Every structure is written in C-alpha cells, then in structure tokens.
A and B are shown apart, each in its own frame.
Chain A
C-alpha cells in the first residue's frame, strides 16, 4: 500500500473499526477481512496494527469484548460496540463528513 494511503488509514483506523463493529459483534480477524473487502482492497490493513488499536479502544471503553465460541467450535474474542463507542462513532462520522465537505468545496473552486 502506498505511503499516502497508509497515512490516511492510520488516522482513521479507529473510526473504521468502530463502524465495522457497529454492524454487529465480530472478532478481530473478521474485522480485518471486512475492512479489506468493503474498501475493495483499497486499504490493505497491516494486521499487526489492528490488534493494538482494538486493545486501545477496549481500554478506553469504546469497545466491549467477550470470549465466545465460533461456528468452528474454537473460542475467539468477539468485540461489540458500547454505548460510549456508539456516541464516539457518531461524532467521528459527523466531523468526517464536515471535513470531506469542506475539502470538496475547496477542490471544486473554479480556477
């Protein structure tokens, strides 16, 4: 992944994780799959940085976690969004939209 994309991802990883988890409880591997799939491979997550981000969000109380059995019978750690996390996601989305709007406005300025 090129440097620019990596930089963007780093800044928004938290937000992306929160969004993915908002769709339902999910374990870490599934999160990384999701992000890759849905972004149509634009973002290729450095998986090593996913888990530290997950732990950080969990520490801050934005994500909750529990160990559950998967369909294969193996135990895995499933993350879900807490109320605090949901609120945070909303604020992040808002500010993201405002930012993109502003950028779009500037970019559309006629020369």
Chain B
C-alpha cells in the first residue's frame, strides 16, 4: 500500500527524493573534485550526469502506474480551473441542465409519491384489493362509483363493490387469506366539535381493517375487532390531516366525544401522518373519520336518510374488500379459493345464470392501497414524465452545443498540448471530467429546483384532499439517485462528442491553419454535428408544443363545457340542522322558512335547496333496483340513474331549462300525490318518450305511483367529460327522511355582501346552526377533480412546451451566432469583394435554416405520434386537428426563424476592415 502512503504524504516523499538526489550530486562532485576538476565545473558535470533533479522527480512521478486516483484529482482540479475561467459558459450550462434535471426530478418525486409509494403498513406486498367482473351488475348496487367500466372486448362490467354475504363468506372460509376486511364510504359528514361544524369524509370499516392493514396509530389506538360488534360503544378514528386541521393537533381530543351528523362517537386514536387511506369505490377517499361497520344502523338513518337497506342485508352490495395473503399462499391459490366462495355467495339474482357465465373475482395488488390515482392520473403522469424527459433531452442538446462551441474555441490550446506531448487519452479524459463537473453541479442545482417544484406542483391542486397536506414529496434516495443518474448521463452525453473530436486532432495540420475558420475539414463536420443538435432540439420541441396545445384546448373545453346548468352567479353552501336536533316536520319548517327569508334578501334572484350538489366530488346513488313505468310490462333496471331531492325553484336557480310540464311547488308535500321531474335522458331511457308528462312510474318494491310532472334538461353531476346521466328529481318536501342539504342562491350582486347577508339570515333563524363550505358554484366546479386535473395538466404541459421552446431557440441563436463568429473573416472578405448585405444574410442563415427545416419535418412526424398516444386524454379536440398542428408549427418556425435571424443580421453589419483584422 505504499502508493496510498505516497498519495497522502507526497510532500514528504518528494522531500526525501530531493535529499537523496542532492546527496548523489554531492558525492559525484566530491569525486570529480578529487580527480582534480574545478569545484563549480565538477558540480555542473555532476548535475548534468544526473539529468536534473526535477527531471528525475518527474520521471518518477510518471513511472508510477497505480496512482489513477491522484491523476483523477489532478484532472478534476485542472478542469475546475478551466471552467472558472469561462464563467459565462459554465453558468449557462449549469442553469440549462438544472432546469432540465430539476423538472424531471420534481415530476418523478410527485409521481413516486402517488404511484409507487407503498402504503406505510407492514408488508404491503401481501395486500390485495378485490374486484370482480361479470355480465351484469347487481340490482341493489348500493353505491356507484365514478363509473363502472365496461371491458370493451368482452362487454363485461367491472366493479369493486361486494355484498356483505361475500364478505362474510371470505372472512370465515378463505384460508389463503390471513385476514379479509371491508370498507364502505359514508360520504360527507359534519363533525361537530366545540360548537363548530366541519365537513369531513367518513368511512366505515370492519373491525379487523387496521390490523389487517398492519397500521400503527399515531396517537391513541386504532379500531379493533371488539369495536365492531353489535352494541359496542361507538368509537371513531380520525386521520392525521383532519386532526391537525379541525382539532388543531390537540392530543386531548383522544377520548373525547364528537358528533358525526348528530350521532356521538368517542375518538380513540389518530392514524399516522403518511397514511392517506385506501382507494374506495374509485374515489379518492382520504377518510377523515373512520368508524366501525357495526355502527351502520345509526349512520344509515342519520346520514344516508334511511334510504339504504341495512348493510347486513345479504343482497346489499356496498362494500369494498381488501385482504392480506397468508404467508406462503400464492395469489393464484387465493384467487381460485376466493372465486369459489364468491360464486357461492351470490344471491338468488344469479341463481338462473349458468356456471360458466358467473361473475369472477380478481385479486389486484394492494401494496399501493388500490392504486390511489388509478382512475385519475397514471397515464397523465406518464405522459408528463415523457414530456419532461423531452425537455431534458433538449436541454442536453443545448449544453452539448455549448460544449462543442467551447471545444472549437479551444482547438489551438488542444493542439499545442498534443504537440507538447500530452496523451490523447488524457485530453479526452479531461474534457469528459469537465462535462461531469458541469453535470453534477447542474444536477445538484436541479435537485433544489425539484424540491421547490414538487411543492409548487402540489399547490396547484387546491382541493384534492390527498394532495394538500402530508403527501411527502421530499426527495428520497430513489429520487436522488434518479437525479444523479440523469445528470451523469447528460454530462457524459454532452461532453462526449467534443471530447472525441479533440482527441482526434492532428496537431501538425491544425497548427498550419492561420486561424480557426469555418473552412477546414474539421470545421465542416463540426458544423454538421452542431446542425444536427439544433435540428433535434427543434424536432423535440414540436411534439412538446403540439401536445401542450392539445391539452390547453382540452382544459379550456372542459372548463367551458356545457354542464347543463349555469354556474355563474350561484353561491352554494351546506347546512345540516340535524346536528342541532331538527328533524321531521320541524326540519321541513325550518327549511321552508329559511328559503323564504333567503329569497327575500336584496340581490337574490332565486333560492333553492338540494340534497346533492352539482359537479361535486360526492357520489350519488339509489338503492332501488328497478323502476316500473305504468303501461310498460317489464320493470327496468336502474343502475346508473341519479336521484336528487330538490326544493321548488331548483331548476330556475341552477339555470336548468324546464322543457315541458312544471316545476315542483310548495304544495307538493307529504299530503299530496307523489310527483317527480325527470331529465331528458331519463325520459328517453325509461319512458321511451321525450315528453312523458302525466305518465306514472314507481320504484320497484314501493307501493305508490309517482307522477311525472315535468321534464328538464340534462345536467352533469359528478363528471364533466362524460355524458349527463339520466336523472330523477324528487321534491324534498315529499321525502320522509331529510338530512343536511345544499343551498343554492342565484344572485346578481356582489358575492361577499350576499354571503354576509346569508350568514346573518341563518343566524337570525337559529344562532346555533352551522354553515359549511360556502363558495361560488363556479369555484366549486373549478376545484373539483373533474376540472382541476385537466387544468393542472394544461398548465404543466404549457410550462414544458414553453421551456422546450425557449431552450431550442437559445440553441438556435447560439449556433448561428457561433457560425457568424467563425466566419467573420470569410464574411469580411466577401464584403470587401463586393457581396451585398442580403447575400451575407442568406449565407449565414442558410445553414441554420436547413437544420431548422429538417427539424420541423422530423418534429412533425414525432408530433403526430405523440398526439396519437395522448388521444385518450383529450376532450373536445381531435388529436390530429390541423389548425392546432399548423399554428404550432408556424409558431415554432417563426420563433426559430427569429432566433436565427438576429445574429445573422449582425453578420451583415460586419466591417471588412475590422473583420480581416479579427483573429
């Protein structure tokens, strides 16, 4: 290990060599003096014989073969010094790479947080989520999610809703699972605490849910099987985020009672900070409050208005199931067993179905909690990552061009070094090291950018609960290594070509050149590479911009799509007087009074109330399985119909056109005949008649007929893109059990003043009433999942597109400017010989433009391919929309042209005399 020694004690060793050699010279001198030579001459001869102390030292240094580390350190120091000498180049290169890498890393960490991070539970890979597919959906589907996808190939329905019977069967008899647990969302609940109400998302789980997941509490304890028994004390667990938001992080809340829509629960614990829930029914459920399923009866009556049959009804389908595999059981075994149990637990509905056509269960990996954003963002995130990758490539091309120009400028330096005996490998290595240094610095800067970028990304999504707090997108080791890999790759990639070029220089030929001009053979091929880089930058920018334009259009379309109602000027808030003990007739009276008073407010055009809000993220559903139209023989199945209970004036307030018949009136109450208003789609679907006013129908299993008194236009509820579902509206005054309601106020006046009035009106009625979530309808729509996702996407792609465009233009400008500087002498000569400005302009532009044109052509092909890929995510705009393509291409061409023209114009102003003197 002597070499290691030598590395660290270099000075000591060199001193030793020094003294040894001096000794040698002294001896030699003494010998020569003894032979009679004159002392100074003797000394000179001795030194000459030895060959010089420094030379020996140098030869010694060079002869050491295993000191690559020291050589590397030397190279790095030298490279750093060279980079410091050209600060402009260094800064621009680092910034460019930082942008490209930072963007990618930010996106990667966000994507990682959503898609790849597994649940913070024990052994997440043992978890599975169950769903099933079959020819039809059960009639009593308690809850429909966002949509129940249909497999286009087989036409089969896919859903993750299970019945209680299946749950019991699996829990008791499936041996491949160590535990099976169930989840069922409740929807929004008003949590009362210290006299204030906060709306949160509630969920019911089976008692073994938390132990099945393997979660440990942050505070207190989590639900246990003993909480899930009939007659057990009502307990609840709250999420970390909700605990911070509503209870201010007060630890004393554990053990205290809170009211959930009027029912009291004792809070027993808080879930960990990074546990954001499990996907439920295709919705992002970030459950704020979790209660055991055994509490369902009280919840059912209060929150769900008693509309649902009890959960334990064997035919009630309203549970999502997850399971933990037993160690040693394979998924295949588990699936087979689960399938058998599932099919046996199917109710009489499937009794007549043949064996082979029975629905089948599927097991999906539950490690990420049911793929939290499966319905929302994996494809878009992938698309974003590809786009960010494109930007990185463009950035690298830019930096590579920078390196090329710099290497070209240093050709003299290189040739002299080569001529003086520096090895080619050494030169090559040194240039690569310069590239790596720039890249590492750029990567580090990019990492910082990424940190802020990721948080910025999250800020752009205001309402989606999952993304607000707690989502940890701090760079972790994976993200960091990704950034490092990206930067190393870019550095080597960028420095490679110029380094290879430099290593191949022929010193003799080079030094014969009077100056670095654009004429030499080396110059020509260097131009080619430069042009290739610029062309590829443009080629990569075009698909970026095209995709960006497509998404911007999509976002605009989504925002402006006809929702079937007019959200402008509408204020919405939620009220739940059941918390204060109102119910039945007293509640109805309160509502009527409130509506009357609100209507009387100045500036208010119209007021109404409804059980469900438009385009909110809340699901709707109905438990009846069939609808029977008078005069039609068969009952029709109603999976997928939406039902809303509304007050009179709802359609007017919301701007939903009344097409025929009439609206509800205050006389449509419990004393009169049952009435309903249906949407056009419902009319067409169930009554096969665009105007079934006067027809009657009844819900399957109900005794009373309902008269259709009006037809209204279609309005969208949960989704903006999909078509409006058939909707049946029932009067609130005729529903037997009413709970909290949303109120809509159409006003022409200033929103702030009206909302103040509303508050005082409500307080005037009863000061203890809690108003929740007051906002404008437009704001609510904009922040709903349906719209904000698209908007964010459009914003992000616009960012990428702009960035790519900027980089490409900078690159084009740079290379044209460089060309000009190379050919200054040539241009001077031409001007002196009589060429005019126009010819000069054309000369300098010609090369850049040819590169740009080729780039545009290639880019167009890439853009078409890219448009095809993102086809599925678009709305309202065709992927190959020619207007889009043409305008984007023209934009890019124009900007690129400008970038090339500016330096070219300067070329025309070159004075021949100064040019010829220019070296």
- A residues contacting B by CB (< 8 A) are 27-29, 32, 46-49, 51-52, 55-56, 58-59, 67, 74-77
Smallest distance from the beta carbon of B285 to chain A beta carbons, Å? 69
Q: Which of A47, A55, A74 contacts B49 (CB 8 A)?
A: A47
Return the CB mask of B9-51 against A: 1 if under 8 Å, else 0: 0000000110111011011100000000000000000000111
**New A-B pairs, 6, CB < 8 Å, besides A48-B56, A51-B56, A59-B2:** A29-B28, A48-B50, A51-B17, A52-B59, A52-B60, A74-B23
Smallest distance from the beta carbon of B714 to chain A beta carbons, Å? 88
A-B contact pairs, 23 of them (CB 8 A): A27-B20, A28-B20, A28-B23, A47-B24, A47-B49, A47-B50, A48-B50, A48-B55, A48-B56, A51-B17, A51-B24, A51-B56, A51-B60, A52-B56, A55-B60, A55-B63, A59-B2, A59-B3, A74-B23, A74-B26, A75-B23, A76-B23, A77-B16
B52 part of interface (Cβ distance < 8 Å): yes
Q: Which of A29, A55, A56, A58 contacts B24 (CB 8 A)?
A: A29
A52 touches B63 (CB 8 A): yes
A48 touches B52 (CB 8 A): yes
* Cα–Cα distance between A27 and B63 once the two chains are bound (Å): 21
| Inter-chain contacts of A49 with B (CB < 8 A) | 59
B26 touches A28 (CB 8 A): no
Contacts A29-B28, A56-B63, A74-B23: A48 and B16 contacting too (C-beta < 8 A)? Answer: no
* Cα–Cα distance between A58 and B20 once the two chains are bound (Å): 14
* Cα–Cα distance between A75 and B20 once the two chains are bound (Å): 9
- A44 and chain B: residue at smallest CB distance: B49
Q: Which of A51, A67, A74, A75 contacts B21 (CB 8 A)?
A: A51
* Cα–Cα distance between A37 and B851 once the two chains are bound (Å): 74
Dominant SS at the B interface?
A: helix
B63 touches A29 (CB 8 A): no
- A49 and chain B: residue at smallest CB distance: B59
Among B27, B49, B64: residue with most chain A CB under 10 A: B27
| Inter-chain contacts of A32 with B (CB < 8 A) | 24
Smallest distance from the beta carbon of B32 to chain A beta carbons, Å? 12
A47 touches B23 (CB 8 A): no
| Inter-chain contacts of B16 with A (CB < 8 A) | 67, 77
- B20 and chain A: residue at smallest CB distance: A77
Smallest distance from the beta carbon of A13 to chain B beta carbons, Å? 13
| Inter-chain contacts of A51 with B (CB < 8 A) | 17, 20-21, 24, 56, 60
* Cα–Cα distance between A55 and B65 once the two chains are bound (Å): 12
Chain A to chain B: the 8 pairs with minimum beta-carbon distance, closest first: A48-B51, A29-B27, A29-B24, A47-B50, A77-B20, A52-B60, A76-B23, A52-B63
B19 touches A75 (CB 8 A): yes
- B residues contacting A by CB (< 8 A) are 2-3, 16-17, 19-21, 23-24, 26-28, 49-52, 55-56, 59-60, 63-64
* Cα–Cα distance between A74 and B20 once the two chains are bound (Å): 11
Contacts A48-B50, A59-B2: A29 and B23 contacting too (C-beta < 8 A)? Answer: yes
* Cα–Cα distance between A48 and B21 once the two chains are bound (Å): 10
Smallest distance from the beta carbon of B730 to chain A beta carbons, Å? 95
* Cα–Cα distance between A48 and B59 once the two chains are bound (Å): 9
Smallest distance from the beta carbon of B792 to chain A beta carbons, Å? 64
* Cα–Cα distance between A13 and B224 once the two chains are bound (Å): 85
* Cα–Cα distance between A74 and B867 once the two chains are bound (Å): 85
Smallest distance from the beta carbon of A75 to chain B beta carbons, Å? 7
* Cα–Cα distance between A59 and B6 once the two chains are bound (Å): 10
Smallest distance from the beta carbon of B307 to chain A beta carbons, Å? 89
* Cα–Cα distance between A51 and B17 once the two chains are bound (Å): 9
* Cα–Cα distance between A77 and B19 once the two chains are bound (Å): 9
Among A32, A47, A58: residue with most chain B CB under 10 A: A47
| Inter-chain contacts of A27 with B (CB < 8 A) | 20, 23
| Inter-chain contacts of B21 with A (CB < 8 A) | 51
| Inter-chain contacts of A28 with B (CB < 8 A) | 20, 23-24
Among A28, A55, A56: residue with most chain B CB under 10 A: A55
* Cα–Cα distance between A32 and B46 once the two chains are bound (Å): 13
Among A29, A46, A56: residue with most chain B CB under 10 A: A29
Smallest distance from the beta carbon of A103 to chain B beta carbons, Å? 30
B20 touches A76 (CB 8 A): yes
* Cα–Cα distance between A28 and B60 once the two chains are bound (Å): 15
| Inter-chain contacts of B3 with A (CB < 8 A) | 59
* Cα–Cα distance between A51 and B158 once the two chains are bound (Å): 83
* Cα–Cα distance between A93 and B16 once the two chains are bound (Å): 31
Smallest distance from the beta carbon of B46 to chain A beta carbons, Å? 9
B26 touches A47 (CB 8 A): no
| Inter-chain contacts of B55 with A (CB < 8 A) | 48
| Inter-chain contacts of A59 with B (CB < 8 A) | 2-3, 64
| Inter-chain contacts of A29 with B (CB < 8 A) | 23-24, 27-28
- B52 and chain A: residue at smallest CB distance: A48
| Inter-chain contacts of B19 with A (CB < 8 A) | 75
Smallest distance from the beta carbon of B428 to chain A beta carbons, Å? 27
- B62 and chain A: residue at smallest CB distance: A52
- A53 and chain B: residue at smallest CB distance: B63
Smallest distance from the beta carbon of A108 to chain B beta carbons, Å? 39
B20 touches A47 (CB 8 A): no
Smallest distance from the beta carbon of B603 to chain A beta carbons, Å? 95
Smallest distance from the beta carbon of A45 to chain B beta carbons, Å? 9
Among A27, A28, A51, A58: residue with most chain B CB under 10 A: A51
* Cα–Cα distance between A67 and B13 once the two chains are bound (Å): 13
Smallest distance from the beta carbon of A38 to chain B beta carbons, Å? 16
Smallest distance from the beta carbon of B70 to chain A beta carbons, Å? 14
- B31 and chain A: residue at smallest CB distance: A33
* Cα–Cα distance between A51 and B63 once the two chains are bound (Å): 11
Smallest distance from the beta carbon of A56 to chain B beta carbons, Å? 6
- B17 and chain A: residue at smallest CB distance: A51
* Cα–Cα distance between A79 and B24 once the two chains are bound (Å): 14
| Inter-chain contacts of B17 with A (CB < 8 A) | 51, 55
| Inter-chain contacts of B50 with A (CB < 8 A) | 47-48
- B28 and chain A: residue at smallest CB distance: A29
Smallest distance from the beta carbon of B24 to chain A beta carbons, Å? 4
| Inter-chain contacts of A48 with B (CB < 8 A) | 50-52, 55-56, 59
| Inter-chain contacts of B52 with A (CB < 8 A) | 48
- A70 and chain B: residue at smallest CB distance: B23
| Inter-chain contacts of A47 with B (CB < 8 A) | 24, 49-51
* Cα–Cα distance between A74 and B25 once the two chains are bound (Å): 13
| Inter-chain contacts of A52 with B (CB < 8 A) | 56, 59-60, 63
* Cα–Cα distance between A59 and B7 once the two chains are bound (Å): 13
| Inter-chain contacts of B23 with A (CB < 8 A) | 27-29, 74-77
Contacts A51-B17, A55-B60, A56-B63: A46 and B51 contacting too (C-beta < 8 A)? Answer: yes
| Inter-chain contacts of B26 with A (CB < 8 A) | 74
Smallest distance from the beta carbon of B753 to chain A beta carbons, Å? 90
